[in-house]
Amino acid sequence: MHLSTFVNFIGLGLISTVCGSPIATESNSNKASSTFDESSRATISDEMTWGVAQTPNILNDTAVDANAVAKGYDLVNVSQTAHGLAGILKLNEATNIYGYDFDCLNLLVEYQADSRLHVHIEPANLTDVFVLPEDLIAKPRIESNNVTFDTSDLVFKYQEKNFGFSVIRSSTGEVLFSTIGNPLVYSNQFIQFNTTLPKDHVVTGLGESIHGSINEPGVVKTLFANDVGDPIDGNIYGVHPVYMDHRYDSNTAHSVYWRTSAIQEVVVEEEALTWRALSGVVDLYFFSGPEPKDVIKQYVHEIGLPALQPYWALGYHQCRWGYDTIEELEEVVSNFKKFDIPLETIWSDIDYMDGYKDFTTDPHRYPLDKFKKFIDDIHGTDQHYIPMFDAGIYVPNPNNASDIYEIFHNGNESDSFLKNPDGSLYIGSVWPGFTAFPDFLAPKSQEFWTKTIKDFYDKVQFDGLWCDMNEASSFCVGSCGSEGYLQNPAKPNFEYGDVSDTYPKGFEQSNASEYSSIQQKASSTSSAASSSTSISDSQNTIAPGKGNINYPPYAINHAQGDHDLATHAISPNATHYDGTIEYDVHNLYGYMEVNATYNALLEAIPNKRPFILSRATFAGSGKHAAHWGGDNTADWAWMYFSIPQALSMGMSGIPFFGVDVCGFNSNTDSELCSRWMQLGSFFPFYRNHNTLGAISQEPYVWSSVTDATKITMNIRYLLLPYYYSLLHESHESGLPVLRALSWEFPNQRNLSTVDTQFFVGDALLVTPVLEPSVETVKGVFPGSGITEIYYDWYTHEQVDFQAGKNETLEAPLGHIPLHIRGGNILPTQEPGYTIAQSRKNPFGLIVALDKNGGASGKLYLDDGESQEVESSLFVNFVALNNTIVSSPYGDYKISEPLSNITILGVNEKPDSVTFEGKDVTYTYENSTLFVTDLNKDSKDGAFDKQFTLKW
Ligand SMILES: *[C@@H]1O[C@H](CO)[C@@H](O)[C@H](O)[C@H]1NC(C)=O
Ligand SMILES: *[C@@H]1O[C@H](CO)[C@@H](O)[C@H](O)[C@H]1NC(C)=O
Ligand SMILES: *[C@@H]1O[C@H](CO)[C@@H](O)[C@H](O)[C@H]1NC(C)=O
Ligand SMILES: *[C@@H]1O[C@H](CO)[C@@H](O)[C@H](O)[C@H]1NC(C)=O
Ligand SMILES: *[C@@H]1O[C@H](CO)[C@@H](O)[C@H](O)[C@H]1NC(C)=O
């Protein structure tokens, strides 16, 4: 969640031009505004939230054009190495445009794998240069000793005078990347290269942002983790410095990954892509594909394969900010039961905390005895509970005897918090008031964090954790609490519940000596980062060493109103234990917090897969975390944007993604919520969540939404084995669960921009309604009638679509068009109220035959929760020539039977159907064969042994 006053919305009118999608822009006019009282904020004064206004470079007409002015480098001393080449780059002439130019750089080129090339450029003198540690972010390594220039699909070519390089695909001769003709700019605070792109390029990636899938000319991507309510085109929570370039002339794709945590900006033009970073080294990786799916797999394999999430995480999640009391939480759970809407996991926003302090419980609204009973009850019905916490750790007031918060002491005493440049504690401000921030680079921070989480688990037996505000967000600019923490506990930033019972209750005065450590540290003069001192200088002075880290000479187009890097975030000059400045690793804060949380959960809940939902992400976060789209708005536009955001996160290695269904900020309405509950049920992470003060939006609030929800929840739960198998595939290969049409059909240029539809795996095509007041929706069905067959999910009928045509589909409220692509076999299981119940029900198969009467599919199963999977089951299904064969292997036992097989696209009614040679019951209708009552033939478990079904 977040304070919406900081949101810098860009006019909704832009949406239709940016995305080329038919989206209504006036849908929120008839909505009541949120009851959230903006004037009640009291923790910090407004002035404390104001940064120093910066003019973003890209909005400054007179800004120096580095590409035109810089003189570049010459490459000298080139030598061959075992896997590539090395050389030295000498600066031709210093221009010091946005920082001090380095006069000497080292170039290293490595052929790492047949499909991966590495280009590395770093200053010869690395003093004051941040080099991203390998133990923090995985570094792709040479794969095998036989890879050379001769075997690689990617070839590095260079020009010595006015150094530039190009990367060529050897199989096609195509230039994939070329900086030749444009100077390399390499200063302490500004690194830039500019590569040519072909006209009509198709570039995706460079998340996270709220934008259509394609980065069309004119797009500028700002990569700086930011707590802001999902503004269109602004920088938001995650940073994924990778783009995929899909070339339709040769039907190939490749990607480019800059392994850097630096603050970045990428300018996409008609025929160029210019990548800028404000610190660090050039550590580039090229992945050759050649198909989009190969590109994604190659990249995700290197940054870290996605976590195999627990099976239960596929169930439905309900959350809101404003479940004021434990009774209210109980009521929500019982309402779901009453309306018979499956509820797997109930969540808490900060409501449960005592004074919004992390890992505490409110004694009045969430008394611990009731809280514990609630969780026991939840677990008794096989449901789950997840609370959130924020990055900021409350700093208690030493003058107040009753203001006790042991977690702060533990962190402070173990030296596990971020510091100011002078070594004093960095104290910002989040929900509880003034807060310190864990420094996950500090040596004792893991121990501190593990203890914190274990202690909390002893009180509240949660099933996963939700890491919020971890960009990391701080409401005030700078270490505002250095002098202010004596005002803690502050009043919360919002009115809450019954005003007569407002927090805080009486606090006494006292002298608590143990807190003197804060002041002691504040007065200490030593600092590990003394080489990076800087003056608050909004005039963009160019400084040596680290430079001016508060106001870099190149100002990014940061989506906070004043564009100051310190606004609504921990300041760039906050300092880590080892001297690393936040400026260099800001984009990693959430990533590091998630890693520490993951390690802590492994100890707190042994051998259970940790479930972590994180708002801030970086390349590789998917290996430990799920992610949601952040603070979106209850509006049609944000429902549409959930699709490109999901596709972009998927290609960034975070397949377990969903957004706040029905919308977070502002009030939703029944029509939007109905459409969104249906769309959301096809995303791997399915959670409804909204903000404090907005109207309730649980799916039982409106009967029309209840009905619509049940329809697609039933489909989702029926398909759980399919979804879980896809999660496993993702975990093994890096391939996302939700897939763009352009990844499935990479040779069709006209699909490149489609982000209003998506595939789930290869088999299901979802065509949601994304606008109000309509009863139809348009969609494309690639290859239909030529190479592909599509079946309507609901009627099983083969639909007569024309490839390349924008078909109009009936889609009255409550109906989301869903099609099965011929050639696929989907494993199913009868839905239950919970995941645990569903897993005790009989299995089934949906077999959708292709043009040749063939289909295939697979199933993966295990116990769904063990961290170390000891037994698992894999089943391959193949259909051909009126026969389906299952081939199981693995030792995970399931006892539930196979009850039915539904075969779509059977052209004639068969005379008989046999299962393992025995006649079985079936019906035939609409070219669909329904084989039922198989239970007795698979008593030992659906996939206990191979079976053959013939018709
Ligand atoms: C725009 O850029 C020019 C050249 O770098 C600089 O002198 C000027 O101060 C910038 N304008 C603003 C408003 O920052
Ligand atoms: C990138 O290079 C091209 C070709 O030299 C040039 O036209 C374009 O302005 C450059 N873009 C930037 C942002 O420097
Ligand atoms: C490297 O740079 C630092 C800081 O600019 C300087 O003090 C040092 O002498 C340089 N080292 C070498 C070997 O040039
Ligand atoms: C290089 O070796 C790997 C195994 O180490 C092998 O898979 C690959 O095919 C080899 N490539 C060539 C070009 O020989
Ligand atoms: C650190 O950065 C903040 C925010 O820009 C600024 O207010 C503060 O003065 C800086 N502190 C130092 C010591 O430079």
Q: Note whether residue 682 is domain-resident.
A: no
Residue ranges around ligand 3 (CB below 6 Å): 125, 127
Answer yes or no: are the C-beta atoms of 383 and 343 closer than 8 Å.
yes
Distance 225 CA to ligand 1 centre (A): 25
Tokens for 424?
């004093």
The CA distance from 516 to 97, in Å, is 45
Q: Can you give the pLDDT at residue 46?
A: 87
Q: Which atom of ligand 2 lies at the shortest distance from residue 68's CA?
A: 14
The CA 184 to ligand 2 mean position distance, Å, reads 12
Of 245, 279, 303, the residue at which a domain comes to its end is 303
Question: Which ligand minimizes its atom distance to the CA of 59?
Answer: 1
Binding-site residues, ligand 5, Cβ < 6 A: 421, 477-478, 534, 536, 550, 566, 571, 573
* Ligand located closest to 267 CA: 2
Q: What is the pLDDT of residue 16?
A: 28
Alpha-carbon distance 911 to 928, whole Å?
14
Q: Cα(124) to centroid of ligand 3, in Å? A: 10
Amino acid present at 497? G
Question: What CATH number has the domain bearing residue 904?
Answer: 2.60.40.1180
Q: Give the count of alpha carbons within 13 A of 638, CB side only.
A: 28
Percent composition of the chain: helix, strand, coil (DSSP 3-state, to 5): 20, 25, 55
SS3 category, 520:
helix
Domain containing residue 129: 57-303
CATH code: domain of residue 298: 2.60.40.1760
Q: Check pocket membership of 148 for ligand 4, CB cut-off 6 A.
A: no
What ligand 5 atom has the least distance to the C-alpha of 572? 2
User: Of the candidates 255, 275, 303, which is a domain's last residue?
Assistant: 303
Atom 1 in ligand 4: which residue has the minimum CA distance?
Answer: 146
Alpha carbon nearest to ligand 2 atom 8, residue: 272
Q: Whose CA is nearest to atom 3 of ligand 5?
A: 478
Residue 917 in domain: yes
Q: How far is residue 383 from each of residues 198, 344, 379, 656, measured CA to CA in Å?
A: 52, 5, 5, 19
Cα 208 to Cα 93: distance, rounded to the nearest angstrom: 36
CA-proximal residue: ligand 3, atom 7 (nearest): 127
- Which of the following is catalytic: 101, 233, 468, 865? 468
How remote is the CA of residue 587 from the centroid of ligand 5, in Å? 19
- Residue 723 near residue 696 (C-beta atoms within 8 A): no
Binding site membership of 171 for ligand 4 (Cβ less than 6 Å): no
Which ligand 2 atom is the nearest neighbour of the CA of 194?
1
Pocket test for ligand 2, best of 162, 166, 177, 194 (most atoms within 8 A of CB): 194
Question: Catalytic: which of 302, 351, 631, 671?
Answer: 631
Q: Is residue 154 part of a domain?
A: yes
* Domain assignment present for 677: no
Residue 38 neighbours by CB under 8 Å, 6+ apart: 4, 5
How many A from CA of 71 to the centre of ligand 1?
21
Question: Helices 670-680 and 636-651: crossing angle, nearest 10°?
Answer: 20
Pocket lined around ligand 2, Cβ cut-off 6 Å: 67, 181-182, 194, 267, 269, 272, 274
Question: Residue 541: its pLDDT value, please?
Answer: 64
Residue 586 lies in a domain: no
Return the ligand 2 atom nearest residue 181 CA.
5
Instruction: Characterize the bridge pairing of strands 264-268 and 154-159.
Output: unpaired
Mutate to test the pocket of ligand 3, among 100, 105, 127, 546 (most ligand atoms within 8 A of CB): 127
Q: How much distance in Å is there from the Cα of 62 to the middle of ligand 1?
A: 6
Q: Which residues contact 397 (CB under 8 A, 6 or more apart)?
A: 403, 485, 486, 487, 488, 489, 507
The alpha carbon of 478 and the centre of ligand 5 are apart by a number of angstroms equal to: 6
- Binding site membership of 146 for ligand 4 (Cβ less than 6 Å): yes
Strands 758-760, 914-915: pairing is unpaired
Q: Which of 54, 55, 97, 554 to mutate to test the pocket of ligand 1 (most atoms within 8 A of CB)?
A: 55
Closest ligand to the CA of 565:
5
Kindly report the length of the chain. Answer: 951
CA distance 632 to 536: 33
Residues with CB under 6 A from ligand 1: 55, 60, 62-64
User: Which residues in the chain come in under a pLDDT of 50?
Assistant: 3-42, 497-539
631 is catalytic: yes
Encoding tokens for residue 583?
Answer: 């400026």
Ligand 4 centroid distance, CA of 621 (Å) = 30
| Substitution site in 52, 54, 60, 540 for ligand 1 pocket (most atoms within 8 Å of beta carbon) | 60
Q: Whose CA is nearest to atom 12 of ligand 1?
A: 55
Neighbour-count burial for 817-852, b at 16+ CB within 10 Å, e otherwise: bbbbbbbbbbbbbbbbbbbbebbebbbbbbbbbbee
Is 471 one of the catalytic residues? Answer: yes
Q: CA-to-CA distance for 217 and 18, rounded, in angstroms?
A: 11
Q: Could you say which ligand is closest to the alpha carbon of residue 127? A: 3
Query: Contact, 499 vs 484, CB < 8 A?
Result: no
144 CB within 6 A, ligand 4: yes
| Domain C-terminal end among 303, 319, 339 | 303
Query: What pLDDT score does 149 carry?
Result: 76
| Residue 591 within any structural domain of the chain | no
Q: Please name the amino acid found at residue 453.
A: I
For residue 267, which atom of ligand 2 is closest to its CA?
A: 13
Is residue 221 domain-resident? yes
Q: Which ligand is nearest to the Cα of residue 219, counting in written order?
A: 2
Write out pLDDT tens, residues 864-891. 999 999 999 999 999 999 999 999 999 9
Which pLDDT does position 11 carry in this prediction?
Answer: 30
In a domain, 660, yes or no: no
Tell me the one-letter amino acid at 886: S
Tokens of 146: 């036989």
The residue from 245, 471, 564, 635 that is catalytic is 471
Q: Which ligand 3 atom minimizes the distance to the CA of 544? A: 5
What is the token pair recorded at 921? 């019951």
Distance of CA 229 to the CA centre of its chain: 15
How many degrees, rounded to 5, is the angle at CA 489 between CA 487 and CA 491?
A: 95
- Bond from prior residue into 396 cis (ω within 30 degrees of 0): no
Indicate the pairing of strand 914-915 with strand 947-950: antiparallel
Q: What is the percent of the chain with per-residue pLDDT over 70, rounded to a whole number?
A: 90
Protein residue closest via CA to atom 14 of ligand 2: 67
What's the distance, Cα to Cα, between the start and end of the chain in Å?
Answer: 56
**For the chain, how many structural domains are there in total?**
2
Q: Give me ligand 3 centre to Cα 581, in Å.
A: 20
